[in-house]
Structure 1
Amino acid sequence: MSDHDFVAALLQRMTLAEKIGQLNLLSAGEGPETGSPAVRNVQGRLEAGQLGGLFGTKSVRSVRAWQEIALAGSAHGIPLFFAEDVIHGHRTIFPLPIALGCAFNPQLWHDVARVAAIEASAEGINHVYAPMIDIARDPRWGRIAESPGEDPYLASRYAEAMVKGFEGDDPTALDTVVSCLKHFIAYGAAVGGRDYDNASLSPEDTIGVYAEPFRAGIAAGAGSVMGSFNALNKRPMHAHREMIRGWLRGKAGFEGLMVADYTGIMELSAHGLGDRETVSGLALIAGIDMDMMGEDYLNHLPRLAKEGLSRPESGIEISAAEICSAVDEACGRVLLLKKRIGLFDDPFRYCDDDRAAKATLAPAHRRLARTSITESSVLLKNDGVLPLEPGSRIAMVGAAADDRTNLLGTWSVSGDHRQAVTLLEGLHAAHDGPITCVKGSDIVEDPILADRLNVHGQTVFLDTRSATMMIDEAVAAARAAHVTVAVVGEAREASGECSSLTDITLPHPQRVLIEALAATGTPLVLVVKAGRPLALEQEMKLADAVLFVWFTGTEAGHGVADILTGEADPSGRLAASFPARTGQVPVHYQAESTGRPYPGRFEKFKTGYLDLPDTIPAATGLFPFGFGLSYTRFSYSKPTVDEARLKGPDAVAVLRVTVTNEGERTGTEVVQLYISDPIARITRPMIELRGFEKITLQPGMSREVVFHVTRRDLAYAMGESLLDVEWVWDPGVFVLRVGRNSRDLQGIPIHWDA
């Protein structure tokens, strides 16, 4: 019997109440809460057969216990699935997704997801709420930390690699999990960078930018998708039938499970769509299969399935038959997911204490975590002070220098910071000279802000000493050292969910500290830990070197020390543009042309800012997308194309460029390909990423990098409404651009005929 036949037969035996019970998704209460749940009686729900899945379990013992209750409470022996947020690792925590995006390495992304799947599945988890693939172009938005960045092409490659790493080739394999693409859709386009706020986008941007990673993840085989909290163009996404049933299930061909986000259906009432009964019907008909935490389906669908939903004043008429049909459809998807991963054959197949003990924080997993830090950290400036000289005296300064509580970063729900390596520990292990470590300043100085940052346990500790005393101590240490390494940045919860900011400069006490350290004359290295791009205009002037490491996870100290000491070459390239000042955001490299383009210097009545220096591009920020330095120097030959004139849909343009390591150290470069479409039917970005390749070269070594460009690479989204958007292209001249970042490129024109 096929899986679909099995599910169809089971549905025929189930009552309406049993079907609705399968649409209920609750938390086990073993982890952090991010909303206001309507119920905490998990055991009672299981005993009554009113629960289809459970998330937030933390052990095999817990999974086994809950599963036993669920099986006893189901007349048909229907098992639970178990889910968890596995955003950047499970027990072994990797750098944040925004950092992983900077790696520009699909194989690394795949391997990170593979490790996370091995660890999560070993603890009974079979469904993970990852990858998060929201395009994010406003660093005020805290959840940019969980995003692969600003670019749809890069995010699409990230989505593909992560899905394949999580799901593997066999859904019944014990070390694979069902992935969940989130959040659908345009969550990262929130107005003002305010979390949960709404987005207004053109059809072209919705489909051509924000939907592209979802299309890629679905094509790669993602088993589920999660709705987003925002409204898109005035329509809340948990009730957006046009995008869920029309685009996601229709145009993108998604056949898997669609889950609500935490109380997302309940929150439709706050969006203004009606009472709880009304929004339950709207969400179900829109295509949301499972209700997370709100229990609105459980409470309201039984009546709606008998009487239908009629709200003439709002133009809502949904028949009872439509509700019943939608319940069957949704329940069928829940059951099919469980059948495909083998839970009906063995509900306890993921419960193996021995495997859990062996998989958690395995040495190979920690090695990959360490490597991922060197691949994702971005060197923004280096005036010859890095790598650190062997035997040199180091003053290590900053509240984060010897701090363990903030190392893992946001959304590391199953990680244990006590198992992480601090930066001081890592540098002590890697450096053979004396190191003096002092605090220098608090992370923040406002007690109210500190309390907010301690929402999930204390990670910010305000010193009892005065700011002057701490700075004096740091200055003395710096003057006695050959080099100062200042570890600065954000607290863990300063980025992440509901962590939006109006100011993305470093907190005030740290800026004062940096000024004092710079004034000593001792060479100054800044190691910046953060979950978002920061506005570092002043710090770039004061420091001799700036290494942006993000939040780096379990192997933080060892990975960062590898870079500082030169054991590894920093090979991260920015997955999101860095503004000079907060007032520049939102900022991204895909700036569109205007009728009065910014000329590169201030000119009245041109696109730009009165108070911004001419050296900083107004539209694309202080550091462009794709930027990052190495400990060596790379040169690029003039690019060539095999044919400058092409014709037809199957033609392929082949671009070649030779990259040479002209320095004295082995280094890694990310070679990037962009395309410009000078004349089109609508306003277009001036350049768009269409390829990249990460290469490692020994001193004096050269390599030819080849890119193949198809006509699909020339296409763009265009349409009057979301569902009539088509991918079109315009025959004529295109410019292929290749180089080391989105601002440092060489171009070569090609002509492509229809």
Structure 2
Amino acid sequence: MNKLILSVVLSIVLMACQNSTHNKQADSIGQKVEKLLSQMTLEEKIGQMWQVNGGYGHDDNIRQGKIGSILNDVDPQNINRLQKIALEESRLGIPLIIARDVIHGFKTVFPIPLGQAASWNPELVEQGCRIAAQEASSTGIRWTFAPMIDISRDARWGRIAESCGEDPYLTSVLGAAMVKGFQGDSLNSETSIIACAKHMAGYGAAEGGRDYNTTLIPPRELRDVYLPPFKAAVDAGVRTFMAAFNDIDGVPATGNEFLFRQVLRNEWHFDGFVVSDWASPWEMINHGFVADEKEAALRAIKAGVNMEMATSTYNDNIKVLIEEGLLDIKIIDQAVRDVLRVKFEMGLFDNPYVAEENQYQFAKPKYLEAAKLAATQSMVLLKNDKNTLPLSLSKKIALIGPMANQAYEQLGTWIFDGDSTLTVTPLKGLQDVFGKDKVMFAEGMAISRTRHQKGYRKAIEQAKKSDVIVFVGGEESILSGEAHSRANIDLPGVQNDLIKELKKTGKPLVLVVMAGRPLTIGAISEYADAVIYAWHPGTMGGAALADIIAGNANPSGKLPVTFPKEVGQIPMHYNHKNTGRPANLDTWTQMYDIPVKAPQTSLGNESHYIDAGFEPLYPFGYGLSYTSFVYSDISLDKEIYAKDDIIAASIKVKNTGEMAGDEIVQLYVRDLVGNVSRPVKELKAFKRISLNEGEETTLTLTLDVNDLAFTNVAMERVVEPGQFELWIGGDSNATLSTFFSVK
């Protein structure tokens, strides 16, 4: 037997052994679940379906087996005390799952998820979630309500900050990375916390960008745009899902059997469990979907929601529903079976306690270094006229703006446990890099919402003494996130006015924006010589920013969401349909160019706004560097592909600038003719590469033909034969393309 054959045989044997071991473990857990389930009373089963908010006063219910999970308790001593009651004082000794919103870090805070998405770096995103899991699990937390993988196309929606942006593919890749980071290599590791894919589904399409609002998503768009990230989470091994607050076409997600019975269970074969969002079963009364709490419990359970968060409609009504014959005990058994399975997988029955005696070191140096790298790669250089950046270390900087020294605000939304004393602000970062004598600071505005000019004078005086102005503005953390939607997404307060006054000094002006969403900065960015979008960058944001401004790091972030010129263009996304009369740069008419009393036909009859055109301020995937990259020689390994083939697309990329840099190479595809109309472009692959000055490489990106599938007019998932166009470039406006066919 030659070495190749021997290697193949050994690989097959090893895989068979691994599969056998996995199957035996699953069988073992299944047997344990069934044995335990058979011993449970109805009250104890209902208890496993109830998650209560933390604090005190739950001891008796835990002792009686009436609580399955607790959220928002981060005191290791109290967590151990409650677990001891559950295991040693309750009849069956079923442990609790301790849950917490650990969204983008615990004590060490990473950039908001939308910022992390701008790194286009799944390995770095996974590392951030692994660090968050390690820190959080040391306090007893074993379950987080992340990743949030709602497709988000409306910057008015506050929760866009929690998302990975507008694209299904990018969100799928990064969402899967987050799941792997939180859950680690093994669910029963003491440093793993189970992930929760949320919010299923369509929450990001809330009407008007108003949080909790209704959504109107056609079934085909739901399957092609909003559901793929959730399927990717299942494939990555996620163990829990969260129901969304919104309704879809009149059916609240919490009571939506299609989502959780048909899609999640029957089509995707998910065997973890689903938790409601906070009080969402009860909120179906407000939706007008149910008459009372009893009906709310019935509809949510029948839809496939295993556990209720915070409210008690399950606890108060399940027994009556069964007694009245409205609910089958088999549905309850299956709901509890799913919860118990995950608890066994987590190893909670064997190792339920947190080691209080081992004082965990938060914010370890390697954690802070990872947070700094994430912040660095998340920042997007949007403008750099006349190579304003990077700055020489000899420059005297006037650091101005309401976000320049706000340790708490730069951490962003959902940082319940973040430690702002660890924060490196832009002031600290620039002083560390340039020296304290080179950085003059005047905030100009106390907070981002300041509406008076009391701080202007000092700011302008400092600006006049400087060589360059660095203005750090944006929005405080509370202005984005849940329940914080904005109709006007300009820089708040009098920031625009202050920037205009500073520009009158004649000094170069660098605008840095820290925000939880894309802001409409088009008009004010005209006053800036350079613009860096820093999102809410987390603990190490100031250090990362200083390195970029000084040129110690070369910016490489790319936008995960389209930036509109003004709010009236929303919703705006790159992967739109073409329409029967697509807009054209050569022919669209500006409002003030229209002759008086012009006939209607003079407007061009195309799909655009006569006052804002059809182009965004910055397109999806956009981001500048201190160097430049040139693409050439696009090619495919063949011209015609079968449905199971792998497409190999090659491109030459050359660093034509004067310093090393990273580029994110992006591949887009368009199905030119479909059974239903198809988007003008769809992201299908990307890769981050590093090139030295003058270096050229030939890169090959691969794409499975099956990934060209879409939902046709008959609601079937198909890859249709026909012609496709394929682009490779540095953003969604890539022009270098080629064609291929699928037979």
Provide the rounded CA distance (Å) in 2 between the counterparts of 1:552 and 1:662: 30
Matched, 1:398 2:418: no
- For residues 43 and 566 of structure 1, what CA distance do their matches in structure 2 show? 57
Give the Cα separation in 1 of the matches to 2:454 and 2:519.
27
1:426 equivalenced with 2:429 (yes/no): yes
Deviations 1:233-255 (A, max 9, x none): 11000000111100111112211
The unaligned stretches of length 5 or more in structure 1 are 30-39, 309-318, 446-461
Q: 1:303-382 counterparts in 2 under 5 A?
A: 303-308=320-325, 319-320=326-327, 322=328, 324-348=329-353, 350-354=354-358, 356-358=359-361, 360-382=362-384
- Tell me by how many angstroms 1:210 deviates: 0.5
Cα deviation per residue 1:293-315 (whole Å; 9 max; x = unaligned)? Answer: 0111011111112113xxxxxxx
Q: TM-score, normalised by structure 1?
A: 0.91
Q: Which amino acid aligns with 1:255?
A: D
User: SS of 1:77's equivalent?
Assistant: coil
Q: Which residue of 1 aligns with 2:594?
A: none
SS of 1:638's partner is strand
What CA deviation, in whole Å up to 9, does each residue of 1:501-560 have, x standing for no partner? 100111140011111111211000011000001111112211000000000111121111
Aligned 8 A contact 2:77 2:356 in 1: no
Matched, 1:524 2:500: no
Quote the residue 2:689 is aligned against. Answer: 695
Aligned position for 1:450:
none
Paired residue type of 1:595 = G
Stretch of structure 1 that moved more, 650-659 or 539-548: 650-659
Could you tell me which residue of structure 1 aligns to residue 100 of structure 2?
A: 84
In 2, Cα distance between equivalents of 1:560 and 1:63: 39
- Where do 1:605-616 residues align within 5 Å? 605-612=605-612
Distance 2:315 2:519 in 1: 44
Q: Could you tell me which residue of structure 2 aligns to residue 707 of structure 1?
A: 701
**AA aligned opposite 1:3:** I
Aligned equivalent of 2:232, options 206, 216, 225? 216
Counterpart residue type for residue 685 of structure 2: G
Distance in 2 between the 1:160 and 1:346 partners? 27
Q: Deviations over 1:167-217 (max 9, x none)?
A: 223221222121110110000000000000011111111011110000001
Superposition pairs of residues 482-561 of structure 1, within 5 angstroms: 482-561=467-546
Residue 744 of structure 1: CA displacement?
Answer: 2.8
Matches within 5 A, 1:642-657: 642-646=637-641, 648-657=642-651
Amino acid at match of 1:374: T
Q: Distance in 2 between matches of 1:719 and 1:343?
A: 47
Distance in 2 (CA, whole Å) between partners of 1:744 and 1:738 is 6
Give the match's secondary structure for 1:269.
Answer: helix
Which range moved further: 430-439 or 268-277? 430-439
Does the residue aligned with 2:697 lie in a helix, a strand or coil? strand
Shift in CA distance, 423/353, structure 1 to aligned 2, threshold 3 Å:
farther
Q: Match of 1:713, as an amino acid?
A: D
- Kindly state the Cα deviation for residue 73 of structure 1 after the two structures are TM-superposed: 4.4
Match of 2:728 in 1: 738
Residue 226 of structure 1 pairs with residue 229 of structure 2 = no
Residue aligning to 2:257: 241
User: Contact conserved, 1:518 with 1:542, CA < 8 A, in 2?
Assistant: yes
User: Which residue type is aligned with residue 24 of structure 1?
Assistant: W
Q: Say if 1:717 and 1:48 are closer, same or farther in 2 by CA, change over 3 A.
A: same
Amino acid at match of 1:610: I
Q: Distance between the aligned counterparts of 1:278 and 1:379, measured in 2?
A: 52
Three-state SS of the structure 2 residue aligned to 1:407 is helix
TM-score w.r.t. structure 2 length?
A: 0.92
1:408, 1:671 → 2: CA distance? 29
- Judging changes above 3 Å, is the alpha-carbon distance between structure 1 residues 719 and 642 closer, same or farther for their aligned structure 2 residues? same
For 1:444 and 1:642, the matched residues in 2 are separated by 53
Q: What residue identity is the alignment partner of 1:424? A: L
Match of 1:315?
Answer: none
8 A contact 1:378–1:572 mirrored in 2: yes
Which residue matches 1:624? Answer: 619
Give the CA deviation at 1:652. Answer: 2.5
**Range that drifts further, 373-382 or 110-119:** 110-119
User: Given residue 94 of structure 1, which amino acid in structure 2 is its aligned partner?
Assistant: F
Give the SS at the match of 2:398: strand
What is the CA–CA distance in structure 2 between the aligned matches of 1:71 and 1:651, rounded to whole Å? 53
The aligned length equals 699
2:380–2:623 CA contact under 8 A, matched in 1: yes
CA contact 1:443–1:509 (8 Å) conserved in 2: no
Q: Report the equivalent of 1:314.
A: none
Distance 1:422 1:47 in 2: 47
Match of 2:40 in 1: 14
* Mapped partners of 1:42, 1:147: distance in 2: 34
**How much does 1:676 deviate?**
0.9
Aligned partners of 1:171 and 1:340 also within 8 Å? yes
Aligned equivalents of 2:357 and 2:580: distance in 1?
64
Task: Quote how far apart the aligned CAs of 1:68 are.
Answer: 1.9
Other-structure match for 1:175: 191
**1:488–1:510: 8 Å Cα contact kept in structure 2?**
yes
Aligned letter for 1:77?
G
Counterpart for residue 451 of structure 1: none
Q: Supply the distance in 1 between the matched residues of 2:447 and 2:573 (Cα, whole angstroms).
A: 28
Instruction: Indicate conservation of the 8 Å contact 2:164/2:170, yes or no.
Output: yes
Q: Aligned partners of 2:112 and 2:454: how far apart in 1?
A: 34
SS of the equivalent of 1:357 reads coil
Q: CA deviation at 1:72?
A: 4.4
Tell me which of 283, 298, 323 is aligned to 1:281.
Answer: 298
Is 1:634 matched with 2:629?
yes
Task: Find the partner of 2:461 among 476, 479, 495.
Answer: 476
- Cα distance in 2, alignment partners of residues 485 and 185 from structure 1: 41
Secondary structure at the residue paired with 1:637? strand
The 3-state SS of whatever aligns with 2:259 is helix
Residue 730 of structure 1: SS of its match in structure 2?
coil
Give the letter aligned to residue 227 of structure 1.
A
The residue type paired with residue 371 of structure 2 is: A
**Where does structure 2 lack aligned partners over 5 or more consecutive residues?**
1-26, 590-602
What is residue 285 of structure 2 aligned with on the other side?
269
For residues 499 and 726 of structure 1, what CA distance do their matches in structure 2 show? Answer: 38
CA contact 1:535–1:579 (8 Å) conserved in 2: yes
- Which aligned pairs between 1:55-74 and structure 2 lie closer than 5 A? 55-74=71-90
2:20 equivalent in structure 1: none
Superposition deviation, residue 444 in structure 1: 4.5
Return the letter of the residue paired with 1:669. E
Equivalent position amino acid for 1:391 in 2: S
Shift of 1:122: 1.5
User: What amino acid does structure 2 have at the position aligned with 1:23?
Assistant: M
Question: How far has the Cα of 1:741 moved from its partner?
Answer: 0.2
SS of alignment partner, residue 741 of structure 1: coil
8 Å Cα contact 2:676/2:713 also seen in 1? no
- Render the CA deviation track for 1:455-498: whole Å, top value 9, x for unaligned: xxxxxxx6xxx933311221121111000000000011100000
1:345 aligned partner, one-letter code: D
- Kept in 2: contact 1:654–1:707 (CA 8 A): yes
* Residue in 2 that maps onto 1:200: 216
Cα deviation for residue 442 of structure 1 reads 4.1
SS in 1 for 2:698: strand
Distance, in Å, in 2 between the alignment partners of 1:352 and 1:5 is 32
SS in structure 2 of the partner of residue 8 of structure 1 = helix
Does residue 95 of structure 1 match 2:111?
Answer: yes
Question: In 2, distance between residues paired with 1:155 and 1:633?
Answer: 27
Amino acid at match of 1:327: I
2:360 is paired with a residue whose SS is: helix
Following TM superposition, by how much is the alpha carbon of 1:352 offset from its aligned partner in structure 2, in angstroms? 4.3
Kept after mapping to 1: 8 A contact 2:402/2:473: yes
Residue aligned with 2:131, SS: helix
Percent identical among aligned pairs is 38
Residue 662 of structure 1 deviates from its aligned partner by 0.9
1:572-623 superposed Cα distances (whole Å, 9 cap, x missing partner): 10000000001111111011111111111424221111112x5xxx1x5110
